[in-house]
């Protein structure tokens, strides 16, 4: 890490599960990262508190603020794992700040949010992924390959399990894996079959099953099902620090020799277009 200039990041939603994981990972690598700012929800009890203390570390002289402009005033990268509403609010305000890159892990975005992200990607580097782990991005490649090799006669079902507080479903990772499967089958629309479905399976559809409970960080299984055999590919995340470390690697990558545009974690890990 010593040959790199520290990357000045602003962490959105710093008191959240991922916000704290990002903060810890960045504080663990002081040569690589400088915390330039941090936001929290207006009204949050953490506002005005030194963010170092938030994770049981020494004070670092940065307090959580509800102001995007203030948090981003000295930041090169905006790292956002919040809510679609908070992300959309930040996207509307970051234009006037020195931020040159966005790393976006927030899931549950609607088409308007997606359009706002694509618009931002015309001016800055945006790395957006439903999952910032190395394992899931390798899994996506395997799923693409398996779907291509097995062909349309094999049904594809994605089962995901997350902790009881997760609000969106299916997870961003399940959607990422479904997209990979659909690409492997030769493109075409991604047909969802959600929980609660009844009747016969739609031909060519990709089904989702969702479980919520406990403290599960994230488990995904992609099952390829034929009449007499099945193939199951699984990823289990045991610690959200792995998403944080991936997101921070993406932040450094985004400040490299990368033109503005919308990128995924596979671009960071394997090079643009390698997927």
Ligand X SMILES: NC(=O)c1ccc[n+]([C@@H]2O[C@H](COP(=O)([O-])OP(=O)(O)OC[C@H]3O[C@@H](n4cnc5c(N)ncnc54)[C@H](OP(=O)(O)O)[C@@H]3O)[C@@H](O)[C@H]2O)c1
Please answer whether residues 242 and 250 qualify as being in contact, where contact means their C-beta atoms are separated by less than 8 angstroms. no
Q: In the sheet where 218-225 sits, what is the strand order?
A: 192-193, 206-212, 155-162, 218-225, 230-237
Site for ligand X in 100-119 (CB under 6 A): 105-108
If the CB atoms of residues 20 and 154 are measured against ligand X, the closer one turns out to be: 20
29 binds ligand X (CB under 6 A): no
# residues contacting ligand X (CB under 6 A): 28
If the CB atoms of residues 89 and 221 are measured against ligand X, the closer one turns out to be: 89
User: CA 34, CA 5: separation in Å to the nearest integer?
Assistant: 10
89 binds ligand X (CB under 6 A): yes
Q: Contact region for ligand X (CB under 6 A) — 1-9, 14-22, 202-210, 250-258? A: 14-22
Helix (H) or strand (E) holding 156: strand 155-162
Helix (H) or strand (E) holding 149: helix 134-150
What does the per-residue mask of binding to ligand X show for 43-62, with x meaning CB under 6 A?
A: -x------------------
User: CA 223, CA 143: separation in Å to the nearest integer?
Assistant: 9
User: CA 138, CA 235: separation in Å to the nearest integer?
Assistant: 10
Per DSSP, the three-state class of 269 is helix
Site for ligand X in 196-235 (CB under 6 A): none
Site for ligand X in 120-159 (CB under 6 A): 129-132
Point out the catalytic residue in the list 74, 163, 166, 235.
166
70 binds ligand X (CB under 6 A): no
User: CA 8, CA 15: separation in Å to the nearest integer?
Assistant: 18
17 binds ligand X (CB under 6 A): yes
97 binds ligand X (CB under 6 A): no
83 binds ligand X (CB under 6 A): yes
Give Cα 226 to chain centroid, integer Å: 31
Active site annotation includes 162: yes
CB of 257 to ligand X, least distance (A): 24
37 binds ligand X (CB under 6 A): no
Q: How many residues in total does the chain contain?
A: 275
Candidates 64, 80, 63; CA nearest to 18 is: 80
Active site residues: 162, 166
Chain residues binding ligand X by CB under 6 A are 12-13, 15-19, 39-41, 44, 81-83, 86, 89, 105-108, 129-132, 168, 172, 240, 243
């Amino acid at each position: 890490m010593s040959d790199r200039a520290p990357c000045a990041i602003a962490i959105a939603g710093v008191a959240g599960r991922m916000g704290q994981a990002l903060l810890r990972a960045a504080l663990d690598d002081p040569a690589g990262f400088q915390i330039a700012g941090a936001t929290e929800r207006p009204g949050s009890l953490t506002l005005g508190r030194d963010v170092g203390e938030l994770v049981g570390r020494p004070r670092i002289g940065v307090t959580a603020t509800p102001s995007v402009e203030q948090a981003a005033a000295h930041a090169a990268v905006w790292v956002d794992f919040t809510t679609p509403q908070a992300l959309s609010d930040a996207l509307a305000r970051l234009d006037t700040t020195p931020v040159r890159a966005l790393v976006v892990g927030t899931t549950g975005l609607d088409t308007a949010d997606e359009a706002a992200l694509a618009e931002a990607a015309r001016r800055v580097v945006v790395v957006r992924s439903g999952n910032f782990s190395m394992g899931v991005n390798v899994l996506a490649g395997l799923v693409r390959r398996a779907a291509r090799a097995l062909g349309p006669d094999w049904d594809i079902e994605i089962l995901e399990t997350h902790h009881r507080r997760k609000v969106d479903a299916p997870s961003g990772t399940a959607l990422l894996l479904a997209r990979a499967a659909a690409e492997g089958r030769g493109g075409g629309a991604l047909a969802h079959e959600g929980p609660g479905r009844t009747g016969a399976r739609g031909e060519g559809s990709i089904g989702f099953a969702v479980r919520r409970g406990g403290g599960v960080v994230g488990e995904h299984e992609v099952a390829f099902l034929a009449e007499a055999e099945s193939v199951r590919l699984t990823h289990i995340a045991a610690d959200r620090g792995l998403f944080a470390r991936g997101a921070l690697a993406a932040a450094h990558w985004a400040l490299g020799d990368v033109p503005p545009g919308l990128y995924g974690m596979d671009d960071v890990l394997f090079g643009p277009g390698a997927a």
